[in-house]
Amino acid sequence: MPPRRQSRLPLPRPPSQTLAPPSSCDNFEIFQWTQTPRTCDAQPLERNACKKTFNAMHFWSGGFAKKQVSSKAVVPEKVQAPVVRRRRQAVVSKEVAPKPSVHEFYTFMQERERLRIRKDIKRLPRDEWTGDPIIQSVRLTNVCRENDRTTHALRTLTQEQATIWRNVDSAPEPLEAPSSPRRLWTVGQLRMAGLFVFNCALWRAFGTTEFAMAAGFLQDWTMETQDQTMKIALALWHNNISVFTEAYDPARRRHRVEVSKTTAVSLSRMRRVINSAFVAVEPVWHARERIAMEAYRTGSWKATTQKLMEISGYGGTGFLAKEVVQDLMHTPLFQDYEDSADSPNAASWHSVCVDENDWCAVGPGARRGLNRLAGRPYKYGVTNSSSAIDQDFLRELKELFEERHSRWPTKILDVDVAKLALHDVQFQLCEFDKYLRAMHHEGRVRLYQPPTSKPLSREELQALVADARNLVKILEEDEHFPPELRSAPRGGMQLANVF
């Protein structure tokens, strides 16, 4: 029946007070009266129920839509229940998961480190890595980010460039002295620092070791460089080598496209996906020296991350911006060199970051982990980027980090282990959340799948893409590939248009 007449438009109701749908419209998402009015020729009782006007209402959208229909007495046409598209749901346990303790969190990290030592250092077979079936089967990152394979690859690329840092200028022009104690930069070093910023952003936009090693350290971002990088990415993809990571968004969404290669038309779609990554890093290229200057002036990775978060796509909780700046922590942006007394050509590097363990952007996964430790709903504040929520999560993260003095050993399995940094604990909170999800059957987690072949070396990757231009030309000229789709779109392609 039509809703009661209101003297004024009704206010939105909270979800708990929304009206239930009629029994004839079970399982519907939106129920609304038709917007087509007609003169009321119904019986008096019906006319009495719908005098003057009625509001077309949307029930499950958080309130009422303000759609006035007619000043005459009208009745709605018969409403048919819309077709509901049912989504496949993950199997979720209805039992309430118990609140984990801080001891359990640090025990989890120690067991994950034992797995790394047995796997990478002692080279034991897989069935001897760990006795924990969840850690054995679920894909979890290393405790220390520096031990990850992709991070290793990026360190190799940036350290090669750092060796020429001191001699980058033939006629150095020093910049103004920064507020933090460090060596003065020259104008040429500022330009090179900007290249560090852009390359780290580009590598993390794709996120795989193979792409970073194949593309290398780019010195510019001209159309020619973009075209060559496009062909390198397509060459990897054509050889069934992942170009995008599945570890985090937005690269994960692009990865889902690249692994769905089923027809020749996918080449055109893959071009658009790669181009969307180019579009995402384009603003970083234009702001690269401003971001580098922030690192030089303040010596703060918090200030540098916040400067990068001003760019579209790097804001929100700051997770992606944090990923990029953490790569920069091991470059001349946050390190100074000291000449060696033994050799004038040798130098050692030391950190000049002033807040490495005082601040860290707390990503969505780490927030879920903190919520579990605090006994809160695990989705609380996950996507909230307000300053108050950020500070609350950071405070809890630092309190948990202080527990390392009594809970993190210096040796595990008679092997020296690295000291924990604040961002290591932040990362492991995300992994701990995955661990608990698998334990309590709370949705899906990614399973660990050992590589079926030996990872390609840098030289092998470069040889693979050395003839990338001819390879892409052959692909485009394939007789099964539609001619109208052979040209690659350039510029302006947003991610929303790709999927």
Residue whose C-alpha is closest to residue 89's, from 443, 377, 491: 443
- Residue 32 domain-assigned (yes or no): yes
43 with 134, same domain: the answer is no
Structure tokens at 258: 């690249």
Burial 316-333 (b: 16+ CB within 10 A, else e): ebbbbbbbbbbbbbbbbb
User: Are the CB atoms for 261 and 237 separated by under 8 Å?
Assistant: yes
- Residue 143 domain-assigned (yes or no): yes
Residues 6 or more apart in contact with residue 101 via CB below 8 angstroms: 373
User: Are the CB atoms for 332 and 189 separated by under 8 Å?
Assistant: yes
- The backbone torsions φ and ψ at residue 423, rounded to the nearest 5 degrees and listed phi first, read -70, -20
290 with 370, same domain: the answer is yes
From 44, 62, 87, the end of a domain falls on 87
From 34, 64, 87, the end of a domain falls on 87
Neighbouring CB atoms inside 10 A of 481's CB total 17
Residues 6 or more apart in contact with residue 303 via CB below 8 angstroms: 294, 295
Structure tokens at 309: 């978060």
392 with 313, same domain: the answer is yes
272 with 405, same domain: the answer is yes
189 with 323, same domain: the answer is yes
146 with 80, same domain: the answer is no
* pLDDT at residue 177 in the model: 76
148 with 28, same domain: the answer is no
- Residue 277 domain-assigned (yes or no): yes
Residue whose C-alpha is closest to residue 337's, from 182, 190, 188: 182
- Residue 498 domain-assigned (yes or no): no
Token pair 């059957």 is found at 441
* One-letter identity of residue 192: M
Q: Which residue range(s) make up the domain with 18?
A: 1-87
Measured between alpha carbons, how far is 326 from 318 in angstroms, rounded to an integer?
12
407 with 299, same domain: the answer is yes
Measured between alpha carbons, how far is 150 from 213 in angstroms, rounded to an integer?
10
- Residue 95 domain-assigned (yes or no): no
386 with 439, same domain: the answer is yes
- Residue 71 domain-assigned (yes or no): yes
Q: What does DSSP say about strands 415-416 and 347-351: parallel, antiparallel, or unpaired?
A: unpaired
Q: What is the mean pLDDT of each run of 10 residues along the chain (499 residues)?
A: 49 44 39 39 42 38 40 45 42 62 97 96 94 94 91 90 80 76 89 96 95 94 94 87 90 86 64 94 97 95 95 89 94 82 59 93 94 94 91 96 96 95 95 95 85 78 70 53 38 29
User: Are the CB atoms for 113 and 416 separated by under 8 Å?
Assistant: no
- Residue 399 domain-assigned (yes or no): yes
- Residue 312 domain-assigned (yes or no): yes
Give the total number of structural domains in the chain. 2
82 with 107, same domain: the answer is no
Measured between alpha carbons, how far is 78 from 183 in angstroms, rounded to an integer?
77
145 with 111, same domain: the answer is yes
From 87, 113, 132, the end of a domain falls on 87
110 with 79, same domain: the answer is no
* pLDDT at residue 92 in the model: 42
